[in-house]
Amino acid sequence: MSEQPSGEKSFAPTARRKRDAAQKGDVLRSKELATAVAVLAGACWLMACGPWLLRRIEDVARAGFRFDRAALEQFEPGTVILPVMAAILPPVLLMGLVVMTLTIASQLLFGEGRFLPGNLAPRGSRINPLAGLKRMFGAQGLIELGKSLLKLALLGGIALWWARGNLHAMLGLARGDLASQLRSAWDAGLRLLLLLGAGLAMIAMVDWPIQFIRRSRRLKMTLQEMRDEHKEAEGSPQRRAAIRQRQREMARGGVMRAMNEAQFLITNPAHFAVAMVYDPALAPAPVVLAKGRGEKALAMRELAAERNLPVLEYPALARSVYFTTRENQLIREELYVAVAALVAFVFSLRRGEHPPRPQVEVPVALRFDAQGRASKA
């Protein structure tokens, strides 16, 4: 099979590429979602706190239609405007705060919870006429134009449908008293706002998967980019070797004292290592001085070689002791026979003898695989 061209962007973006793009400001954003949330949040606030604002508007309207001769002869705009602002601004500002908070929260949730202050910085590309023309007449501009036309058609249809059912009643408001006029206009306007919010929510539901697909395509990677990222994540062979060497040096320092007292090492053959000692004067059974896996096990093997300690490769026994015994503890009673055979073998080597390697049997109940799961093998 021929290898795929390395310059073709056909690989899904990795988590790292998505994270890097988000740090540069490329996150999921939807203007339609923000608009829908703003309209629906405002409508919900008006439903909940509308009576409060409506009473303020009614009071302002009543006060505005009451005046006498003195008010006309000594007209002072400040005396009229300030009470109106004091009555209307608090509920309006509170509504604005609620709408702004919910809109920002929706965009943060939509954009993976990232707030990017760098996006607020001025950029020359935003005011570049050529870049603007490219956005307007390019493929992206045509897509946005199509979306705008569809949105206009949908919202215009909703507004027309609302007008057919409410326009006659709105034209007849002048025949009623002030309170009924305000309530009727308020209810009709609130219904229109809710209908438009529902239409915007439908548009946002369509826009979200579009934005998701477009961002995924934009962040797709070539084969060479995949290789470069993997290479950066793994690091060079020299760097990996240096890291392993530092880890091993740290491990050596942690087990140095135990290895000075150890008599032999049981391994599996390189993934696990257990340093043991047997002194009848100190303990009735062999004691585990140190144990390790991975880099620590390799460090223990190196220290054992420097001290000419016997390294005995018994995989099943090494795993059994590793998973059943803590450091500075006696081994399990069920392992006495198996470890005793190794102790006798080591003592024979120390006397200059060359006995055959003993065959040991690990009880079935104490057999484990490399992950510490019970094994019947």
- Which residues are CB-contacts of 106 (< 8 A; sequence separation ≥ 6)? 33, 34, 37
CB 347 within 8 A of CB 314: no
- Which residues are CB-contacts of 336 (< 8 A; sequence separation ≥ 6)? 285
Q: Clarify whether residues 206 and 327 are in a common domain.
A: no
Q: Does residue 22 lie in a domain region?
A: no
Q: What is the pTM of this model?
A: 0.42
How remote is the C-alpha of 99 from its chain's centroid? Answer: 26
C-beta neighbour count of 343 within 10 angstroms: 18
What helix, strand, coil percent values describe the chain, rounded to 5?
70, 5, 25
pLDDT of residue 3: 47
Per-residue pLDDT reduced to its tens digit, 298-319: 888 888 888 899 999 999 999 9
User: Residue 86 corresponds to which tokens in the numbers above?
Assistant: 């004091």
Q: Does residue 16 lie in a domain region?
A: no
Q: Clarify whether residues 196 and 246 are in a common domain.
A: no
Q: Does residue 9 lie in a domain region?
A: no
The sign of the torsion formed by the CA atoms of 71, 74, 80, 82 equals negative
Specify the residue for token string 């134009």.
145
Over range 21-38, report the average pLDDT.
74
Among candidates 165, 150, 275, which has minimal Cα distance to 200? 150
Count: domains in the chain: 2
Among candidates 273, 259, 270, 347, which has minimal Cα distance to 304? 259
Per-residue pLDDT reduced to its tens digit, 61-96: 666 656 555 555 565 655 556 666 666 677 777 777
Q: Clarify whether residues 333 and 260 are in a common domain.
A: yes
The helix/strand count (H/E) of the chain reads as: 12, 5
Specify the residue for token string 């009614």.
58
Q: Of 17-31, 139-153, 161-175, 284-298, which gets the smallest average pLDDT?
A: 161-175
Q: What is the average pLDDT score of the chain?
A: 76
Per-residue pLDDT reduced to its tens digit, 126-162: 556 665 566 566 666 677 777 778 878 888 888 888 7
Over range 187-207, report the average pLDDT.
80
User: Residue 1 corresponds to which tokens in the numbers above?
Assistant: 């099979």
Percent of the chain at pLDDT above 90? Answer: 19
Specify the residue for token string 């070797």.
241
Range of the domain at 275: 242-366
